[in-house]
């Protein structure tokens, strides 16, 4: 199976381990993630203004390339913010032909392929794992079940809101938790899993982010969680880097991308998973629960 995916900017910079672990884990499952030959920044966030059509040019240009140049009807994203931005822009122009016509008019000078017609479906990689491959099929491919690991799935905002583009139930999502159960981990649940991590306030006012992560990490640890697992690079930065900087958190929790834990359960090489790139080193936890590095991850005791 070959899937075209849109990486976006962060996956190529501070979240390289997310991309590398995703490509490796999917390849292990017999799926090839092929990067779009041409792409641009999606614009990062969907505009909340009702009169800001120019903001849609960046995401619609990406979808136009998928449709007209790649000749695909579906594009997969890894980044939650890219997924949300592309999905909302796509929905906007599909629902409003006049706006689509205006956007296409501005893009006429791009090339000779024609304008975007609205046929592309934007999909998050988690949806591919759940709906195309299937968690039961993934479970059968696990070499080293994550027994003994208590993980807290954190969803944040962009995967779930607004409901029209969310990939799961906004108030009680289970998609990451279900994947972790398929890998053999124990899932810790708490309502803070859908609360905001502070998002871009990490640039201008870290105190907001510190307040948010103290609540999220505190609740997760109080329920017995040993690690956080998530899918958003910005959430990873706030819950990993900012948590490490927050001196009020005495016992920080390591933070994983779900693709990294897939790699651990599949026995993939640590170098591919990029676990050494985290501010809070997650490898001691893996050793503590009985995993060690031997060219690949393997369980010490069965």
Q: Give the pLDDT confidence of 145-156 residue by residue, as tens digits.
A: 999 899 999 999
**Domain residues for 19?**
2-125
For residues 191-218, give the mean pLDDT. Answer: 95
For residue 300, pLDDT beyond 50: no
User: Is the alpha carbon torsion for 167, 255, 1, 59 positive or negative?
Assistant: positive
For residue 295, pLDDT beyond 60: no
Whether 17 and 98 map to the same domain: the answer is yes
Whether 92 and 225 map to the same domain: the answer is no
Is 130 domain-assigned? no
pLDDT tens, position by position, 88-146: 999 999 999 999 999 999 887 666 567 999 999 999 999 999 999 999 999 999 999 99
What H or E segment, with its residue span, contains residue 6?
Answer: strand 2-6
For residue 261, pLDDT beyond 50: yes
Phi/psi at 143 (5° precision): -95, -35
Q: How many domains does the chain have?
A: 2
Q: Which two tokens stand for residue 231?
A: 């899918």
Cis before 162? omega within 30: yes
> Which one of 125, 158, 187 terminates a domain?
125
DSSP 192: G
Whether 6 and 142 map to the same domain: the answer is no
Whether 105 and 10 map to the same domain: the answer is yes
Question: In Å, how far are 28, 87, 257, 269, 295 from 32, measured between CA atoms?
Answer: 9, 22, 19, 18, 23
Higher pLDDT pick, 11 / 247 = 11
pLDDT grade, residue 235 (50/70/90)?
A: very high
CA atoms within 13 A on the CB side of 186: 11
Name the 3-class secondary structure at 214. Answer: helix
Whether 109 and 168 map to the same domain: the answer is no
pLDDT tens, position by position, 12-71: 999 999 999 999 999 999 999 999 999 999 998 887 777 889 999 999 999 999 999 999
For residues 211-219, give the mean pLDDT. Answer: 96
CA distance 149 to 50: 45
Residue with tokens 């799961």: 168
């Amino acid at each position: 199976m070959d899937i075209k995916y849109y990486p976006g900017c962060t996956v190529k910079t501070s979240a390289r381990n997310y991309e590398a672990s995703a490509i490796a884990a999917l390849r292990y499952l017999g799926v090839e993630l092929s990067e779009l030959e041409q792409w641009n920044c999606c614009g990062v966030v969907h505009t909340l203004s009702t009169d800001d059509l120019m903001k849609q040019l960046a995401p619609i240009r990406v979808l136009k390339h998928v449709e007209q140049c790649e000749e695909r009807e579906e594009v997969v994203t890894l980044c939650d913010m890219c997924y949300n931005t592309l999905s909302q822009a796509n929905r906007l122009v599909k629902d409003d032909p006049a706006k689509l016509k205006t956007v296409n008019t501005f893009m006429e000078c791009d090339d000779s392929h024609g304008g975007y017609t609205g046929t592309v479906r934007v999909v998050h990689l988690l949806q591919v794992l759940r709906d195309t491959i299937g968690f039961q099929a993934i479970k059968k491919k696990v070499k080293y079940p994550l027994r003994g690991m208590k993980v807290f799935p954190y969803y944040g905002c962009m995967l779930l809101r607004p409901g029209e583009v969310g990939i799961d139930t906004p108030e009680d999502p289970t998609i990451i938790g279900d994947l972790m159960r398929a890998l053999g981990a124990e899932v810790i649940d708490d309502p803070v899993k859908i609360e905001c991590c502070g998002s871009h306030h990490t640039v201008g006012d870290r105190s907001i982010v510190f307040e948010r992560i103290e609540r999220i990490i505190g609740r997760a640890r109080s329920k017995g969680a040993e690690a956080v697992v998530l899918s958003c690079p910005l959430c990873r930065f706030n819950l990993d880097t900012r948590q490490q900087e927050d001196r009020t958190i005495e016992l920080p929790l390591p933070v994983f991308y779900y693709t990294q834990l897939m790699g651990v359960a599949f026995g993939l090489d640590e170098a591919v998973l990029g676990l050494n790139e985290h501010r809070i080193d997650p490898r001691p936890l893996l050793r503590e629960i009985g995993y060690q590095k031997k060219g690949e991850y393997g369980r010490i005791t069965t």
